[in-house]
Structure 1
Amino acid sequence: MITEEHLYEQLEELNIPYKIVKHQPVFTTEEADKQIEGHEGVRTKSLFLQNKKKKRFFIVIMDDSKSLDINFFKDYVDESRIKLASPETIEKLIGLTPGIVSVFGLTEAMNDKIEVFYDREMIKEDLLTFHPNTNDKTIFIKTTDIFKFVASMGYDNQIIDLP
């Protein structure tokens, strides 16, 4: 996992501007939304999924008001079964817990195991929001800069049209 401090260093090395909003610790997207009211940016949720054999893992990023159709996604990635990864699996692979999962947990060492998907509808917006590996802050960052960050870690930015 990338520590919060290391994350800020990486963003600065990549010349990626960002804004941080500090708030009370939050555990749901609803709680987070209340803490950042009045700030521009898509409120995102990042789902960490796995296939049946735990050989493929996926981070799916979408507007937090949207629900993921698991059957659609499993067909899209050509898997027979997809489910949310367990907290233990998430901790093992990206060092984060459910509720603060984001692309900021990725490291170069895992890029052959994890695939990153974004909902096309959401990425039309200029700013996205994420937790910077802690649930007491929200980071606001340009959509194009999230792509730049993810690519710098060795991952493909895959766009999907989620129903």
Structure 2
Amino acid sequence: MNLYKKVEETLASLEIPFEIVEHEPALTTEQADSFIEGIEGVRTKTMFLTNKKKTAYYLLIMDDHKRLDMSAFGQIAGSKGIKMASGDSLYEKMMLPPGVVSPFGLLNNEEKDISVYIDKEIMNEERMSFHPNTNEKTIFIKTADLLRFVEAIGYQVNVIAL
């Protein structure tokens, strides 16, 4: 099944409204931002992280202009040696290529073994934007609906201060 279609069908089944903007493939957050200029919603970056031994995986959502302190996140997550997970790990866990990471990739994680974290700084935003398992579209979804989606597919959301 088309990975975007899976996102669309899951959101429809949960009766979660969303807005889609189609554009040419976005390879950077700066490029993606240029395609959605003027549309309401915080621009996010979603990172797929792992610990030193690759025994734990984390999906972290934060404002795309913020820099991540990996060791501070490691302390919050209770893990040492936090780093970006490899492209191979990303594909194995969420069937996604680098540059397309989003909470919608969790739909493809059959093991349900990824911990989800969102920076509390963006929790008061009305809407967030993500690539919905393709870098040729950007989806805008209400923050409350994103939380409902993540929980409906079997994950707990950890809201943290970065």
Q: Given the two structures, how large is their TM-score scaled by the length of structure 1?
A: 0.95
Equivalent residue runs for 1:51-62 within 5 Å = 51-62=51-62
In the TM superposition, residue 5 of structure 1 has moved relative to its aligned partner by 0.7
Pair 1:133 & 2:137 matched: no
The answer as to 2:18 corresponding to 1:18 is yes
> CA offset at residue 76 of structure 1?
1.1
Deviation at 1:68, TM superposition (A): 0.6
Which residue is equivalent to 1:102? 102
DSSP-derived class of the 1:109 partner: coil
Gaps of 5+ in 1: none
Gaps of 5+ in 2: none
Q: Is the 8 A contact 1:48 1:60 kept in 2?
A: yes
Q: Deviations for 1:95-129, whole angstroms, at most 9, x for unmatched residues? A: 01111101101136221x20000000111101000
Q: Distance in 2 between matches of 1:147 and 1:131?
A: 16
**Which 4+ stretches in 1 moved above 4 angstroms?**
none
Scaled by the length of structure 2, the TM-score of the pair is 0.96
Instruction: Give the 5 Å matches for 1:19-58.
Output: 19-58=19-58
Counterpart Cα distance in 2 of 1:25 and 1:76:
34
CA contact (8 A) 1:28 1:99 kept: yes
* Counterpart Cα distance in 2 of 1:158 and 1:50: 16
* CA–CA distance in structure 2, aligned partners of residues 79 and 157 of structure 1: 17
Could you say what secondary structure the match of 1:106 adopts? helix
Q: How does 1:146-161 map to 2 (within 5 A)?
A: 146-161=146-161
CA contact (8 A) 2:42 2:127 kept: yes
Match of 1:121 in 2: 121
- The alignment covers a number of residue pairs equal to 161
- Relative to structure 1, the CA distance from residue 104 to residue 2 in structure 2 (aligned partners, 3 Å threshold; closer, same or farther) is farther
SS at match of 2:140: strand
- Check the 8 A contact 2:71/2:80 in 1, yes or no: no
User: Closer, same or farther in 2 for the Cα pair 1:44/1:67, shift >3 Å?
Assistant: same
Q: Percent identity at matched positions?
A: 47
